Structure 1
Amino acid sequence: MSGLELTPRGALDTDSGWKAELGIDFSLSHGRTILSRRHTGPLTLQRPFYPEGDAVCHVYALHPPGGVVGGDRLRFDVRARTDAHGLVTTPAAGKFYRSAGPLAVQEQRLRVDAGGTLDWLPLETIVYPGADARLDTRVDLAGDACFFGWEVVCLGLPASGAPFDSGRFIQSFEVHRDGGPVLLERARYQGGSALLTEQWGLDGFTVFGTLIGTVDGRDLAERIRGRADELAATERFSLTQMDGLTVCRVMGDNAFRVRDLLAAAWGTMRMERLGRAACPPRVWNT
């Protein structure tokens, strides 16, 4: 199966709405991970933080409008170069609002060079009833590149009495290593469909998340599962290992609890692969 090609930059200007792009390039200079950036439209970064010392650079990606509406096109282009280690998160949940017709698109191209490390850990994405949205993520790894990344999605606003009973959300997540596909996933969630309620689908859960890490091993899997058993209440947790990847999935009804389960798995994976404890960004506590 061929890999998904993200929309070229020039094709982002076809519909009305915000057109924005954020490029982040992590590199190592004199023992310190530094970054260069570029942005167009309403996407930018806060200043970098170094809570783990000079080796790891933490940044918060900002989208000042606060949400994505029909016709908006957002693109993230992130690269971690050899020996650099970058962590990218967001200070607030992403939101796809109800659409009056046009499709809203967010594209994420993540590249990690051999010897580089990237933690891609945005907060959850909330898909409002009536949204028409697409979230595309492609990860390109070279050689022994190290990657940990997740996506957490909330369908509808059930706490406000607004289930995802209309609209459409399309999601793809791909991992490629040295130009070849390792993991290709695509899903389409139609508001009010049986996929949201049946046991073969989401079984009524409204929040789901996936964490992917470039590390595997039976002992690792047992440790992650044991920790998930300690933390999970009504959430469902699963783990799969394939081609040097560990893939963790959680379904639940609370974004914070789903994220906590994935964060625990991330910490175990990170220690296994890097010998470095997880350092959750402070913004997650606000």
Structure 2
Amino acid sequence: MKPLLLAEGASPDAVSTARAHYAAQPSTWLAELELWFAVNAGKTRLMRRRHLGPLVVQKPFHPEKDGTCHVYLLHPPGGVAGGDQLDLRFHVAADARAVLTTPGATKFYRSEHGRSTQSTSIDVGANAVCEYLPQETIVFDGADASIDTRVTLEAGATYVGWDFICLGRPAAGERFETGTLRQRIEIVRDGKPIWFERVRLPGGSTLAEAPYALAGQPTWGTMVYVGPTAEDAAERVREAVGNRADGVFTVSQLEHGVVCRYLGPRVSEGKSLFVRAWDALRTSCQGKAANAPRIWNT
């Protein structure tokens, strides 16, 4: 049985809920992480945190001159097994700036105890900036995975978010032949939805090979930039990326921002292209260059 981990000072109700869950499903993780960011003394600071189970953060960093707070989200088990539930919630107060990332890939293992879920909720206050840039998600053959992200933005807020999905383990010759991947992304600004995307992909689906879908490629990524945007932002991204991809890279400028996509053979290539795009968008829309988290170089 996995040990029960609770935040210091957890309420009796939280303890009771967690114990009931573990009694019913002793082989699964129930993990929650909630973070609150706000401006204090000229910098964005992690003002409060709450966690239940194996989701924690390292000490925040402030590598940028404008006081942007960089935080690494840690999931010590390293993978998500059948029946596991990960719940992440982030609140970025007005005028605050935060960059959130992970030190390594999220792995959804073969499911033997039901569906595995990861839910992320991000609230961004007026004129605040949240950049949610996790490492890739690897979906093992046989996984039953559900990934849900919901972002709410107030007036003048900026959100940058990306995700990379790798089906199976191509380097080991493993394909995604069984199981199911579900992914849902929704972005709401001032109470109105401005971006919605939903994917349901069964293992072994013909979509994996269809030229109008994944075209036999194991990896895809989506990067969404929402906020104040330069008129030529998409063109600047194209110039920054150039013709460096073995896979397919596209960029589109929409009414509310810019969307970049990657489809190709390697996550590393997709991330390299998205970092260039992020830098171009930051420079043209925020007036500062990208500052890649140090953990990406380890």
- TM-score between the two structures when normalised by the length of structure 2: 0.89
In structure 2, C-alpha distance between the alignment counterparts of 1:230 and 1:200, rounded to whole Å? 21
How many angstroms does 1:241 deviate by? 2.2
How many angstroms does 1:13 deviate by? 4.4
Corresponding residue of 1:4? none
1:47 aligns with 2:78: no
1:205 aligns with 2:199: no
In structure 1, C-alpha distance between the alignment counterparts of 2:103 and 2:95, rounded to whole Å? 26
How many angstroms does 1:230 deviate by? 3.4
In structure 2, C-alpha distance between the alignment counterparts of 1:245 and 1:260, rounded to whole Å? 21
In structure 2, C-alpha distance between the alignment counterparts of 1:48 and 1:60, rounded to whole Å? 8
8 Å contact kept, 2:233–2:285: no
Q: Can you give the 5+ residue segments of structure 1 that lack an aligned partner in the other structure?
A: 1-8
In structure 2, C-alpha distance between the alignment counterparts of 1:194 and 1:180, rounded to whole Å? 35
1:29 aligns with 2:40: yes
Corresponding residue of 2:170? 158
8 Å contact kept, 1:216–1:241: no
Corresponding residue of 1:236? 248
Question: RCO higher in 1 or 2 (8 Å CA, sep ≥ 6)?
Answer: 1
How many angstroms does 1:218 deviate by? 4.4
State the structure with more CA Rg.
2
8 Å contact kept, 2:34–2:89: yes
CA displacement, residues 169-222 of structure 1 (integer Å, 9 cap, x when unaligned): 000111100111001100011111111110111001111111111244442111
CA displacement, residues 86-145 of structure 1 (integer Å, 9 cap, x when unaligned): 111000100000001400000000110011111100000000000000000011000110
8 Å contact kept, 1:271–1:277: yes
RMSD: 1.8
CA displacement, residues 241-285 of structure 1 (integer Å, 9 cap, x when unaligned): 223211110011111110111111111111122111100011111
Identify the range of structure 1 (200-209 vs 9-18) with the bigger mean alpha-carbon deviation.
9-18
- TM-score between the two structures when normalised by the length of structure 1: 0.93
How many angstroms does 1:53 deviate by? 3.5
Give the % identical residues: 42
Corresponding residue of 2:6? none
User: How many residue pairs are counted as aligned between the two chains?
Assistant: 277
How many angstroms does 1:231 deviate by? 2.5
In structure 1, C-alpha distance between the alignment counterparts of 2:150 and 2:83, rounded to whole Å? 21
What amino acid is the match of 1:107?
Answer: S
In structure 2, C-alpha distance between the alignment counterparts of 1:125 and 1:62, rounded to whole Å? 14
8 Å contact kept, 2:119–2:148: yes
SS of 1:147's equivalent in the other structure is strand
What amino acid is the match of 1:43?
Answer: L
SS of 1:231's equivalent in the other structure is coil
In structure 2, C-alpha distance between the alignment counterparts of 1:149 and 1:46, rounded to whole Å? 20
What amino acid is the match of 2:38?
Answer: S
Corresponding residue of 2:294? 282
8 Å contact kept, 1:101–1:132: no
